[in-house]
C-alpha cells in the first residue's frame, strides 16, 4: 500500500513540473535592456514617412497635327503661309510647271521642266512646311535626270550652232530680196547642262543665259534701204526700197540708161555705192587708151559726169548724169551707167553710200 501511494505521488509531481516548464517556454522573452549613449550628440530622426510607390511618369500628349501652314512660310520662294496641305501642294505644283526661259544671244527659248527630266518632291516639302515655324523658308527637293538635260542641250546645239553670216541682197526673178543675217553661236554643252540642272534644282524661273560663244554679224537686214538693180542688156535701172519694219522690198521707179560699149562692157555682179559727189570733176583714167591726152574737166555744162557722181566698188565705174541724153538706151559708155541729168539728181537724193547695186545681163 505504501509503494502504491508513493508511485502516485511521484507521478503527480512530474506532471506538475512539466506543466510549469511548458508555461515558461511559451511566455514572451523579456525586452532588451535600454542603454543611453551619453557621448553621442546625433539629433537626426528616422524618416517615418511611408515609402511612396515608384511608377514611370506619363508623357504629355503630343500637340494636335497642324492643319494649316504658319504665316510667312515659303517653299522655294513660293508663299504658302495659311494654306492647308492640298492648296499648298497645288500652288507649288503650278509654279514648278512654269517654263524655263533660256536665252542665246538674241534668241529666246522656252522648255518644260518635265522635258528636262525634273521631278519635284512636293509632298514632303509641304509636310515639312506644316511643321515649320512662321517665316521659315522650306527647300523643295528636285531630282533632275542629267541624261535628259544632256539630250536636250544636244538638240539645241544641232539647231543653234551656226557660223556667222551677214545679211545680203539676192535676186529672185530679177527682183531683189534681203536674205537675213545669221548670228554665229557655239553652245558650250557641259556648262549649259550644269546651268540648267542647277536652275531646276533651285526652282528658278528667271531668264537663263546659256553659256555660248556668240558672234554678231556686221551687216543686218535692218541696215538695208534703197537697192538698185541694173539690167545691162535692156538698158534699165530699177530702184527698190527695203522696209526694215515690214521686211519687204517694194518697187519705187525705173530709169532708161546707157551702159558700156562691147569693148568696155559694164561689169556684171553685186557692188555698192562707195562715193557720192555733187558737181564732180572729171579726171581721165590714167591707164585708159581712149583717155590718152585728155585733161581734167571742172564742173559745168560740158562735164561728162553731169552734175552727180555715184561711184561703185567696181574700179572706175559709177552711175552719173550725161550731157548726151541721146546715148541713153544704147551701149555707149566706157563701162559707166549714164542717166539723164535730172534723173541722176533725183536718184542721188534717194540713195546713200552703201546702197547695193546689182548689175545683171538681162
Q: How far apart are CA 331 and CA 264, in angstroms?
A: 9
- In whole angstroms, what is the distance from residue 361 CA to residue 230 CA? 9
Catalytic annotation present for 336: yes
Alpha-carbon gap, residue 212 to 190, rounded angstroms: 11
Residue 320's DSSP bridge partners are 309, 338
CA atoms lying within 13 Å on the CB side of residue 310: 27
**Rg, the chain, Cα only:** 56
Q: How many CA atoms lie within 13 A of 140 on its CB side?
A: 31
Catalytic residue among 162, 168, 242, 320: 320
Which cell numbers hold the place of 311?
Answer: 561711184
Q: Look at strands 318-322 and 337-340 and give their pairing.
A: parallel
Q: Which residues contact 17 (CB under 8 A, 6 or more apart)?
A: none
> Per this entry, what is the length of the chain?
362
CA-based nearest residue to 320, from 285, 279, 269, 359: 279
How many helices (H) and strands (E) the chain has is answered by 6, 22
Q: Phi-psi category of 223—alpha, beta or left, where left has phi over 0 and alpha has psi -120 to 50?
A: alpha
| 187 Cβ contact partners less than 8 Å away, ≥ 6 residues apart | 104, 153, 156, 157, 160, 161, 210, 211, 212
Half-sphere exposure of 156 (CA within 13 A, CB side): 27
Is 162 one of the catalytic residues? no
Q: Is 85 helix (H, G, I), strand (E, B) or coil?
A: helix
Pairing outcome for strands 175-179 and 168-172: antiparallel
- Residues identified as active-site: 320, 336
Amino acid at each position: 500500500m505504501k509503494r502504491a501511494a508513493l508511485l502516485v505521488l511521484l507521478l503527480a509531481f512530474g506532471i506538475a513540473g512539466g506543466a510549469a516548464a511548458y508555461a515558461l517556454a511559451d511566455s514572451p522573452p523579456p525586452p532588451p535592456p535600454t542603454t543611453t549613449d551619453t557621448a553621442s550628440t546625433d539629433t537626426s530622426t528616422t524618416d517615418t514617412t511611408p515609402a511612396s510607390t515608384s511608377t514611370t511618369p506619363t508623357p504629355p500628349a503630343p500637340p494636335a497635327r497642324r492643319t494649316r501652314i504658319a504665316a510667312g512660310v515659303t517653299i522655294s520662294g513660293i508663299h504658302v503661309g495659311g494654306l492647308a496641305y492640298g492648296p499648298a501642294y497645288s500652288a507649288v505644283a503650278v509654279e514648278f510647271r512654269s517654263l524655263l526661259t533660256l536665252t542665246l544671244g538674241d534668241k529666246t527659248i522656252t522648255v518644260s521642266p518635265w522635258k528636262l527630266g525634273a521631278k519635284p518632291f512636293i509632298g514632303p516639302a509641304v509636310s515639312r512646311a506644316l511643321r515649320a515655324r512662321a517665316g521659315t523658308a522650306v527647300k523643295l527637293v528636285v531630282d533632275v535626270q542629267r541624261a535628259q538635260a544632256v539630250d536636250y542641250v544636244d538638240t539645241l546645239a544641232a539647231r543653234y550652232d551656226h557660223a556667222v553670216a551677214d545679211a545680203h541682197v539676192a535676186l529672185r526673178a530679177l527682183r531683189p530680196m534681203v536674205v537675213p543675217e545669221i548670228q554665229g553661236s557655239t553652245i558650250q554643252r557641259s556648262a549649259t547642262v550644269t546651268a540648267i540642272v542647277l536652275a531646276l534644282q533651285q526652282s528658278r524661273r528667271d531668264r537663263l543665259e546659256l553659256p555660248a560663244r556668240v558672234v554678231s554679224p556686221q551687216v543686218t537686214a535692218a541696215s538695208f534701204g534703197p537697192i538698185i538693180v541694173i539690167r545691162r542688156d535692156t538698158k534699165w535701172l530699177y530702184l527698190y526700197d527695203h522696209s526694215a519694219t515690214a521686211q519687204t522690198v517694194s518697187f519705187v521707179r525705173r530709169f532708161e540708161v546707157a551702159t558700156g560699149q562691147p569693148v568696155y562692157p559694164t561689169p556684171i555682179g553685186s557692188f555698192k555705192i562707195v562715193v557720192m559727189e555733187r558737181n564732180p570733176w572729171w579726171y581721165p583714167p590714167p591707164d585708159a587708151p581712149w583717155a590718152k591726152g585728155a585733161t581734167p574737166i571742172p564742173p559745168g555744162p560740158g562735164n561728162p559726169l553731169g552734175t552727180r557722181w555715184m561711184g561703185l566698188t567696181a574700179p572706175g565705174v559709177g552711175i552719173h548724169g550725161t550731157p548726151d541724153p541721146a546715148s541713153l538706151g544704147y551701149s555707149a559708155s566706157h563701162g559707166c551707167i549714164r542717166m539723164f541729168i535730172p534723173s541722176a539728181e533725183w536718184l542721188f537724193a534717194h540713195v546713200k553710200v552703201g546702197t547695193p547695186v546689182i548689175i545683171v545681163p538681162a
